[in-house]
Amino acid sequence: MSQTELYAVEIRGEAGTRRSGRKRPDGIATTNVVLSASIGDNASVFRDILRLFVPEGSTVADVTWGKGAFWKFVSDNLYTVLPSDLKTGVDCRNLPYDDASIDALVLDPPYMEGLFRREIGHMAGSGSHAAFREHYSDGKATDHDVGAPKYHDAVVDLYLKAGQEARRVLRNYGVFIVKCQDEVSANTQRLTHVELINAWAKDFYCKDLFVVVRPNKPGIVRLLTQEHARKNHSYFLVLIKRDQEYPKRIRPPKGRKVKTETGVNPS
Q: What is the DSSP string of 52-73?
A: HHS-TT-EEEETT-TT-GGGTT
Q: Does residue 20 belong to any structural domain of this protein?
A: no
Q: Does residue 45 belong to any structural domain of this protein?
A: yes
How far is it, in rounded angstroms, from Cα 230 to Cα 219?
9
Q: Has residue 131 got a pLDDT over 90?
A: no
Q: How many domains does the chain have?
A: 1
Nearest residue to 199 via CA among 161, 146, 143: 161
Q: Has residue 140 got a pLDDT over 90?
A: no
Residues 6 or more apart whose CB falls under 8 angstroms from that of 55 comprise: 103
| Long-range pairs for 117-124: beta carbons < 8 A, 24 or more residues apart | 117/141, 117/142, 118/142, 118/143, 118/144
Q: Does residue 163 belong to any structural domain of this protein?
A: yes
How far is it, in rounded angstroms, from Cα 183 to Cα 168?
28
Q: Does residue 25 belong to any structural domain of this protein?
A: no
Q: Does residue 26 belong to any structural domain of this protein?
A: no
Q: Does residue 136 belong to any structural domain of this protein?
A: yes
The mean predicted confidence, pLDDT, of the chain is 80
| Contact between 241 and 203 (Cβ < 8 Å) | yes
- What does the pLDDT read at residue 187? 83
Higher pLDDT, 162 or 123: 162
Q: Does residue 31 belong to any structural domain of this protein?
A: no
Assign residue 167 the CATH number of its domain.
3.40.50.150
Residues 6 or more apart whose CB falls under 8 angstroms from that of 260 comprise: 99, 100, 171, 172
Q: Does residue 8 belong to any structural domain of this protein?
A: no
Amino acid at 232: N
Higher pLDDT, 265 or 193: 193
How far is it, in rounded angstroms, from Cα 121 to Cα 160?
27
Q: What is the pTM of this model?
A: 0.76
- What does the pLDDT read at residue 31? 86
How far is it, in rounded angstroms, from Cα 65 to Cα 86?
9
The 10s digit of each residue's pLDDT in 73-100 is 999 999 999 999 888 999 999 999 999 9
Q: What is the span of the domain harbouring residue 255?
A: 36-266
